[in-house]
Amino acid sequence: MSPISRRAFFTGTTRAALGMAATSNAWVLQGCGGSGTNWGSLAAQLDGQLLLPSNPLYPATGLSENTVSAAIRPAAIALCANARDVQTCVVWAQDNGMPLVAQSGAHSYGGYSTTRGLLISVRPINAVRFDPQNEIATIGSGMQLGTLYDTLFSQGFFVPAGRCTSVGIAGFVLGGGFGFETRRFGVTCDLMMETEIVTADGRLLVCNEAQNADLFWACRGGGGGNFGINTSFTMRALPIVATTYGKVVWSFDDVEAVWTELQTIAITAPDAMGMRNGIARSRTSVGASSTDTVSALFIYFGPEDEARDILAPALNAAPPTEITIATGSIADATGFVAEESSPNGFLAKSAYAEVPFPAAGISAILDLFSRWPASSRAGVFDLHTVGGVSNTISRTATAYVHRGAQACFEYEADWFDDATPQQIEESIAWVEALGDAVRPYFNGEAYQNFIDPTLIDWQQAYYAENFARLVEVKRTHDPGNVFHFPQSIPVEA
Ligand SMILES: Cc1cc2nc3c(=O)[nH]c(=O)nc-3n(C[C@H](O)[C@H](O)[C@H](O)COP(=O)(O)OP(=O)(O)OC[C@H]3O[C@@H](n4cnc5c(N)ncnc54)[C@H](O)[C@@H]3O)c2cc1C
């Protein structure tokens, strides 16, 4: 698809707020039962609640973080209280010709955890059972990362995960899951010991190295929404450790000198350093002047003097306008870097790299930032550190294939809630132009958790040599393709 047709596909006239979903998500437009649907028969079988549109709880339930799919609303939302409810929903939906989709934290970048059929929400399945003797946490699949952190911190442990507190554990860990701790402890799926999943035939399967090992492999990086609906994840928990953490911000006038150092630090730093370095522009209304920054956010698993030494080239490149460097436990550090998010419309793309950009690459980024559209709410280019311990695992040992990279870049534009199709188009065009400009410096892979509806060769970019095996697992466990969306693993390669 040409960039132009891709943009048209994404924005689509009055369906702008739906973005890609309105045009390509035929799966949500399939017959949804109509008035003859016997919802009562489903409700009667559930321990949890079934919300129909007339229920006062319905309007605020199941909304996607990316508002591109805001207009796609389910015929009903099942708030599953337990795994048995999920089994009931999966069987009932197929018996009644009702499309279904799983939802945990609703943070899919593509807005893929919604449907015009039955939305099966695992959100109420959110207990943590912690075994301190063996340092193992069994986590309900509806658990949000912030609550998971708090629950385990209070017992002196943690599971390394992501920054945004409202992301759901299910989508996060099924796609791999990285954060500030990845270099030191691996991607989150590397700590998974077992998961339980409801498959298309309605069975609840236990998956680990010994049982249903193929599904266990696929659930570590193969992506959410592909093989069934996971109801729990059993993870190795780690004792709380000491850290140095902080944030440094510089003036945008110094962006070139600072970014040159920041990207090199991030990519070459020891495994004990986890960073999110970013170039960002944002504004509060169309045409308003923007707030522009270059910044580093970090957690270092070591003493403050070592952290300062690692950061020195950037600190010396230009004087920071804001600097916080502190010491404390991983609980303090996680609280410091935590991100609260709220729904809005955006397109984000991702790419991995092994080496820092040459000067020409940095110039290309800055050139695009100088042409960021006046209608856009935010324009962001982030570098997330990956690699370290997660690169000691082979690319095929789990479905998460991105084991050689040192950085995962994320570049994004957000638009205003009342943006016109033209304004959305301008933001999307900017993201695509940025991607085109920096593509030579990436390794060709993209992150399945930053799922990107405009990515064409997504099978290779997300899964590379693991794609064929994922298709086999799909064919074995969901031959009828019950769990599907535009970028789901197909039953045929
Ligand atoms: C603000 C923000 C910050 C983020 N920060 C990070 C980060 O630091 N690190 C990182 O790695 N990622 C990050 N992400 C990406 C995030 O990991 C993915 O968007 C992830 O898929 C979200 O999971 P979810 O459960 O919240 O989303 P959902 O939209 O509920 O689900 C995502 C996908 O998984 C499927 N799914 C949901 N529940 C289940 C289930 N129980 N069983 C099987 N499939 C299921 C859905 O159908 C959908 O296809 C961030 C996303 C946002 C919006």
Please tell me if the CB atom of residue 466 comes closer than 6 angstroms to any atom of ligand 1. Answer: no
Question: Which is more confident, 464 or 20?
Answer: 464
Q: Mind giving me the DSSP string for 280-309?
A: EEE-SSTT---EEEEEEEEEESS-HHHHHH
Mutate to test the pocket of ligand 1, among 172, 207, 216 (most ligand atoms within 8 A of CB): 172
Q: Is the pLDDT of residue 31 over 50?
A: no
Does the CA dihedral 257-258-259-261 come out positive or negative? positive
Pairing of β 118-121 and β 100-103: parallel
**Residue 105 beta carbon below 6 angstroms from any ligand 1 atom:** yes
- Report domain 242-441's class: alpha beta
Q: Which helix (H) or strand (E) holds 178?
A: none
**Nearest protein Cα to ligand 1, atom 52:** 107
pLDDT higher than threshold 60 for residue 4: no
Q: For the chain, what percentages of helix, strand and coil (3-state, to nearest 5) are there?
A: 35, 25, 40
Which residues, listed in sequence order, are joined to residue 198 by a DSSP beta bridge? Answer: 204, 229
Nearest CA to ligand 1 atom 28: 106
Q: Which residues pair with 409 in a beta bridge?
A: 351, 383
Pocket-testing residue among 20, 69, 100, 104, ligand 1, by greatest number of atoms within 8 A of Cβ: 104
Q: How far apart are CA 78 and CA 97, in angstroms?
A: 16
pLDDT, tens only, 422-467: 999 999 999 999 999 999 999 999 999 999 999 999 999 999 999 9
For ligand 1, whether the C-beta of 160 sits within 6 Å is no
Position 350 pLDDT exceeds 50: yes
* Closest residue CA from atom 51 of ligand 1: 107
- 94 within 8 A of 117, measured Cβ to Cβ: no
Give the residue whose CA is nearest to atom 21 of ligand 1: 171
Is the model's pLDDT at 408 over the cut of 60? yes
Highest mean pLDDT among 4-8, 20-24, 162-166: 162-166
CA distances for 145 relative to 79, 140, 141, angstroms: 19, 11, 11
141 ligand 1 Cβ < 6 A? yes
DSSP strand pairing (242-251 vs 322-329): antiparallel
Does residue 15 contact residue 420 with C-beta atoms inside 8 Å? no
Distances (CA, A) of 96 to 34, 43, 89, 126, 485: 11, 14, 10, 28, 19
The answer, yes or no, to whether any atom of ligand 1 lies below 6 A from the CB of 222, is no
The tokens of 177 are what? 């899951």
Question: Which amino acid, one-letter code, is at 195?
Answer: T
Q: Is residue 359 within a helix (H) or strand (E), and if so which, with residue range?
A: helix 359-370
**Region at 148 (left for phi over 0; alpha for psi -120 to 50; beta for the rest):** alpha
pLDDT in tens, 230-276: 999 999 999 999 999 999 999 999 999 999 999 999 999 999 999 99
Residue nearest to atom 3 of ligand 1 (CA): 164
One of 3.30.465.10, 3.50.50.60, 3.20.20.330, 3.30.70.141 is the CATH number of 3-121, namely: 3.30.465.10
Q: Which helix (H) or strand (E) holds 396?
A: none
- Whether the pLDDT of residue 488 is over 60: the answer is yes
167 alpha carbon – ligand 1 mean position (Å): 6
Burial pattern 80-102, b for ≥16 Cβ within 10 A else e, equals bebbbbbbbbbbbbbebebbbbb
Fold of 128-239+464-477: 3.30.465
- For every residue of 101-156, DSSP letters joined together read EEESS---TT--S--SSEEEE-TT---EEEETTTTEEEEETT-BHHHHHHHHHTTT
How far apart (Å, rounded) are the C-alpha atoms in residues 416 and 3?
22
pLDDT for 2 equals 33
Q: Whose Cα sits closest to atom 34 in ligand 1?
A: 224
- Given ligand 1 and candidates 108, 191, 347, 390, which is best to mutate, with the most ligand atoms within 8 Å of its CB? 108
User: In which residue are the tokens 């534009």 written?
Assistant: 413
Domain ranges of the chain: 3-121, 128-239+464-477, 242-441
DSSP 277: E
pLDDT: which is higher, 39 or 28: 39
The answer to whether the 3-121 and 128-239+464-477 domains have the same CATH topology is yes
d(CA 298, CA 188): 18
So what's the pLDDT on residue 36? 86
Quick one: which atom of ligand 1 is closest to the CA of 169? 25
CA distances from 154 to 70, 130, 150, 368 (A): 36, 11, 6, 45
Which atom of ligand 1 has the smallest separation from the CA of 177? 11
Is pLDDT of 380 > 50?
yes
Q: How far is the CA of 145 from the centre of ligand 1 (A)?
A: 10
Q: Is 117 in the pocket of ligand 1 (CB under 6 A)?
A: no
Cα–Cα distance measured from residue 477 to residue 491, given in angstroms and rounded to the nearest whole number: 10
Question: What is the C-alpha to C-alpha distance for residues 94 and 116, in angstroms, rounded to an integer?
Answer: 15
The answer, yes or no, to whether any atom of ligand 1 lies below 6 A from the CB of 106, is yes
292's CB contacts (< 8 A; 6+ apart) are 252, 280, 281, 369
**Cα(168) to centroid of ligand 1, in Å?**
6
Whether the per-residue pLDDT at 27 is higher than 70: the answer is no
Using a 6 Å cutoff on CB, does residue 178 contact ligand 1? yes
Beta bridge partners of 168: 144
Mean pLDDT score of the chain, rounded to an integer? 93
Using the predicted structure, report yes or no on whether residue 300 has a pLDDT greater than 70: yes
- Give the bridge partners for 323, in sequence order: 248
pTM over 0.75: yes
Taking each continuous run of H as one helix and of E as one strand, the counts in the chain are 16, 18
Q: Is the CB of 104 under 6 A from ligand 1?
A: yes
Distances (CA, A) of 329 to 182, 245, 296, 300, 354: 17, 9, 19, 11, 30
Rounded mean pLDDT of 283-293? 97
Mean pLDDT of 461-487: 98
| C-alpha closest to that of 400 among 273, 216, 160 | 216
Q: List 273's β-bridge partners, or say none.
A: 300
- 390 CB within 6 A, ligand 1: no
Tens-digit pLDDT profile for residues 86-103:
999 999 999 999 999 999
- Split at pLDDT 50, 70, 90, the class of 34 is low
Position 50 pLDDT exceeds 50:
yes
The Å distance, Cα 447 to ligand 1 centre, comes to 12
Q: Which atom of ligand 1 is nearest to the CA of 341?
A: 1
Q: Is the CB of 110 under 6 A from ligand 1?
A: no
Cβ–ligand 1 distance for 223 under 6 Å, the answer no
Residues 295 and 315 sit within 8 Å (Cβ to Cβ): no
| Mean pLDDT of the region 67-79 | 96
Q: pLDDT by residue (tens digit) across 124-156?
A: 999 999 999 999 999 999 999 999 999 999 999
294: tokens are 């270059």
> Residue 35: pLDDT above 80?
no
Q: In whole angstroms, what is the distance from residue 158 CA to residue 185 CA?
A: 11
Pocket perturbation via mutation, ligand 1, pick of 100, 143, 164 by most ligand atoms within 8 A of CB? 164
